[in-house]
């Protein structure tokens, strides 16, 4: 009897290992793959990309044009965007520029706590007054940290340097202000009067 029980157990084990007589087959594709529980719905509060007011010329006057900026807090990136000139949309709105096209990247630094220095490489002649105002207004209203006024007159200034020339402009000399629509895209400097 013990022998029969062992034989029965062995046959049952072999049957289980043999798959109960069900023949093997390849993968059969039918329907969509199984999925788990759905995740949370996408949020509608995605942050808007930062915008900065770039000042181009409209009828010879500096005018703010909002532009998305990947790094609105980096003043060098903002100045590079300005030096690239107006895009097609801005040109269609009559935007022009008096700034030179550069072969090298500009350098932007805060030199003494209240002076922003912009170096334009390979620029042998000084920029025009209109070009200087484009830079001055863009720097004044950029979303980057602004130097705290500490000069004799308390006004931060912009210093633009090229090959053997330098021009200086107080940021208060910017005659234009971004409109509310332009300013809605990004913060202005703290402490600046509008």
3-state secondary structure of 65: strand
Where do the H-state alpha helices sit in 93-152? Answer: 129-141
Q: Which two tokens stand for residue 79?
A: 């100045």
Q: Are 113 and 76 in contact (CB under 8 A)?
A: no
What global pTM score does this model have?
A: 0.66
- Residue pLDDT, tens place only, 56-112: 999 999 999 999 888 777 889 999 999 999 999 999 999 999 999 888 889 999 877
Q: Mean pLDDT over residues 23-36, rounded?
A: 66
């Amino acid at each position: 009897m013990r022998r029969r029980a062992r034989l029965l157990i062995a046959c049952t084990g072999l049957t289980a290992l043999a798959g109960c007589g069900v023949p093997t087959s390849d993968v059969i594709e039918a329907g969509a793959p199984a999925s788990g529980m759905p995740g949370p719905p996408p949020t509608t509060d995605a942050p808007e990309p930062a915008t900065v007011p770039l000042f181009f010329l409209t009828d010879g006057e500096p005018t703010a044009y909002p532009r998305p900026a990947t790094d609105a807090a980096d003043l060098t990136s903002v100045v590079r965007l300005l030096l690239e000139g107006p895009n097609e949309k801005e040109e269609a709105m009559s935007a022009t520029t008096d700034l030179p096209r550069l072969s090298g990247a500009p350098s932007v630094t805060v030199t003494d706590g209240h002076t922003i220095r912009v170096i334009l490489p390979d620029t042998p002649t000084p920029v025009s007054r209109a070009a200087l105002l484009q830079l001055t207004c863009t720097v004044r209203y950029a979303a980057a940290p602004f130097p705290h006024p500490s000069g004799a007159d308390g006004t931060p200034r912009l210093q633009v340097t090229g090959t053997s020339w330098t021009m200086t402009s107080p940021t208060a000399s910017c005659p234009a202000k971004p409109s509310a629509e332009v300013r809605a895209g990004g913060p202005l400097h703290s402490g600046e009067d509008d």
